[in-house]
Structure 1
Amino acid sequence: MEQQQQWRKLNGQRIRIPITAEITNALQREHEAGHALKVCIGTDSQVKGRLVEFATVIVFVRKGKGGFMYIHNEYEHRHMPVKERMLMEVNKSVAVAYELSGVFSRFNVDLELHVDINTNPNFKSNDALKEAMGYIMGMGFAFKAKPDAFASSSCANKVVQ
């Protein structure tokens, strides 16, 4: 069952149809324009006291011709340890990827999941790396972590308030 989430474009324009329909329309337009695409999904979060804001992005990369993205923000009102927050980010990305995987398959578009987890064991987020990688790869998705995870580390990071 499709989640009723409020998505928007980078320019702030709200998406008023289900995200699966919007992504289908976007892929159709891009296909007709002859663009080769790769899609990267990632989530980042920011803590403000007991409020945690999550931003999930669906980034479309036109090979050699720029790109565009869709954004969804949501909030949790509670304290969360770093590892739990990292795994919550991963879960949000996997849920979106799973919901849209049929659309991406239909258009033969490569999909990667990007996680904002540091591969350096000196960082706290690294505690969640093995679980995140296992979960994502176990679901059949390609996995990227820092420094190669631009969808979460750069794109989502820019739109998390």
Structure 2
Amino acid sequence: MQQQQWQYFNGTPIKQPIEEAVRQALLKEKAAGNTIKVCIGTDSQVKSRETAFATVIVFVRQGKGAFMYICNQGTKRKMPVKERMLKEVACSIDVAYSLCQLFIAFNVHLEVHADINTNPNFKSNTALKEAMGYIMGMGFAFKAKPHAFASSDCADRMVH
């Protein structure tokens, strides 16, 4: 995996460390009187011999929309579905873990979203128990499809 380069939704690179960008965003939202919930999720796409990953940090303003930061990464390795699903979860947890002290300090609810189907008829379901255990074992709130919009909708649109 390459070095993490975060960007705004419009594609503009975030030039400071992600921790500082998140801290500034939380300060700005608090000053505006907004109640924030943060959802972190990752999605991936396989393209020939490469796998592209997109991780998003979605800031949901209660009743006032949302905004997000995006990080795209890739690997030359092809992975079985279960391994790829767990890699997505690992990417999300890495980000959540690195930022969780900020969210605690600002009293912000954090959820980690997994792009894993709860329906056993889907291939991604093979990773559901491990993903749920991994996320909840790290102390984070867990959401899977169809409630995992950060990974299933936001990151899905950003992966390239």
Q: What is the Cα deviation at residue 74 of structure 1?
A: 0.3
SS in 2 for 1:60: strand
Question: Deviations for 1:38-58, whole angstroms, at most 9, x for unmatched residues?
Answer: 000000000001100000000
Q: Kindly report which structure 2 residues correspond to 1:11-160, keeping only aligned pairs within 5 A, or say none.
A: 11-160=10-159
Letter in 2 for 1:21: E
Between the two proteins, what is the percent identity of the paired residues?
66
Question: Deviations for 1:99-131, whole angstroms, at most 9, x for unmatched residues?
Answer: 000010010000000000000001110000000
Q: What is the Cα deviation at residue 146 of structure 1?
A: 0.1
Q: What is the Cα deviation at residue 88 of structure 1?
A: 0.1
Letter in 1 for 2:124: S
2-structure distance, mates of 1:139, 1:116: 18
Q: TM-score of the superposition, structure 1-length normalised?
A: 0.97
Aligned-residue RMSD, C-alpha: 1.0
2-structure distance, mates of 1:65, 1:20: 23
Q: Which runs of 5+ in 2 are unaligned?
A: none
Q: What is the Cα deviation at residue 84 of structure 1?
A: 0.2
2-structure distance, mates of 1:12, 1:148: 26
1-structure distance, mates of 2:30, 2:83: 38
Q: Kindly report which structure 2 residues correspond to 1:1-20, keeping only aligned pairs within 5 A, or say none.
A: 5-20=4-19
2-structure distance, mates of 1:140, 1:157: 25
Question: Deviations for 1:63-107, whole angstroms, at most 9, x for unmatched residues?
Answer: 000010000000010110000000000000000000000010010
2-structure distance, mates of 1:79, 1:144: 26
Letter in 1 for 2:30: H
Letter in 2 for 1:157: D
Q: TM-score of the superposition, structure 2-length normalised?
A: 0.98
SS in 2 for 1:116: strand
Question: Deviations for 1:11-46, whole angstroms, at most 9, x for unmatched residues?
Answer: 111100000000000000000000000000000000
Q: Which runs of 5+ in 1 are unaligned?
A: none
Letter in 2 for 1:160: V
SS in 1 for 2:117: coil
